[in-house]
Structure 1
C-alpha cells in the first residue's frame, strides 16, 4: 500500500526531469552572419526557460563581432566584478573598450579584463554556431586568465 501511495508523488517530482528538452542548447538570433563586422554589436536573443512547471520567456544579450582572422566572437555582457552589464565604447576616456559603469571596470575588445580595474576575470564567451546563414548562441563559458 505504501508503494502505491508513493509512486504518484515520485512521478510528480521526477516528471520535469524526464521531459524532452527539444531544440538543443543553441538559441536562434535574427543576426545574419554576413552582417557581422569587426565592430562589436549587441545581439539580443530570446528563449523559453522552464523551472519545474513554470515557463517564462527570457531575453539575453551577447556582444558579437569578427576578429582579425574573420572568426566570430560572442561575449557575455555580464561584468565579472559584480554582475553589472558592460557596454561597448561608452567611456569617452577609454575608447574601444567594454565599460562597466557600476565600478568603472574595463575590458579590451576581446573581453580581457584591464589590469588595475575592478574585474578579476575576462568576460565569458558564448558558444555559437551558424545555421542557414544566421547566428545561433549557446551557453556562456568562462575563460581563464587575467
Structure 2
C-alpha cells in the first residue's frame, strides 16, 4: 500500500526547499567573505630595514618606526603600514618588542610613569611589563609582549615577523 502525498505536504516541501536554496545562495558569499582572508597565506616572513643603525641601539629601549607592506584581508595601503617597535640590547643581543599591550591592545610606553621606573607602562588599565617584555604579576596583562625577529645587515637594524609570546 502506497502512501499518497497530500497537497499541503507538497507545498510545504516545495516552499522549504526553495527557501533553503535561496538561503544558501545568500549565506555562501557571506561565509566565504569572512573566511577567505584566514585561508590565504600571509607574506609576513620578510625583514624590513629601519632607520636605526647598530651603533644607535643601547641598553635603554627606543621607539623605532618602520613600514611594512602587507595585504589586510582585501586592502593593501599603497604607501604601506607604519609600525613601531621598542628596540634595545640585552645581554649583547638586539631585542625588539611590540608596543601592543596584551590586555586590550593599547600602546605601551617605556618609562612613561614616574611611579614605575624602568618598566613598560600601558595607560589604559595600568598594565605593566618588565624591560624584557614579561608582564608584571598582579597587573591586567596576562601575557608578555610579543617580540619581533631582528637581524643586523650592513650596520642597519632589520625587523622581521612577530614571534608570538
TM-score by length of 1: 0.78
Moved more, 43-52 or 121-130: 43-52
CA distance in 2, matches of 1:116, 1:51: 35
Aligned ranges for residues 46-125 of structure 1 at < 5 Å?
46-51=67-72, 54-56=75-77, 57-67=80-90, 69-125=91-147
TM-score by length of 2: 0.69
For residue 127 of structure 1, what is the aligned residue in structure 2?
149
Unmatched 5+ stretches in structure 2 = 1-39
Name the one with the larger strand percent.
1
CA distance in 1, matches of 2:143, 2:76: 32
Question: Which has the greater radius of gyration?
Answer: 2
For residue 30 of structure 2, what is the aligned residue in structure 1?
none
Name the one with the larger helix percent.
2
Alpha-carbon deviation of 1:47?
Answer: 1.9
Segments ≥4 residues shifted beyond 3 Å? 51-54
CA distance in 2, matches of 1:53, 1:104: 35
Q: How many residues get paired?
A: 124
Alpha-carbon deviation of 1:54?
Answer: 4.1
Secondary structure at the aligned position of 1:55 is classed as: coil
Unmatched 5+ stretches in structure 1 = 1-16
Match of 1:32 among 44, 48, 53: 53
Alpha-carbon deviation of 1:110?
Answer: 0.4
Alpha-carbon deviation of 1:63?
Answer: 0.2
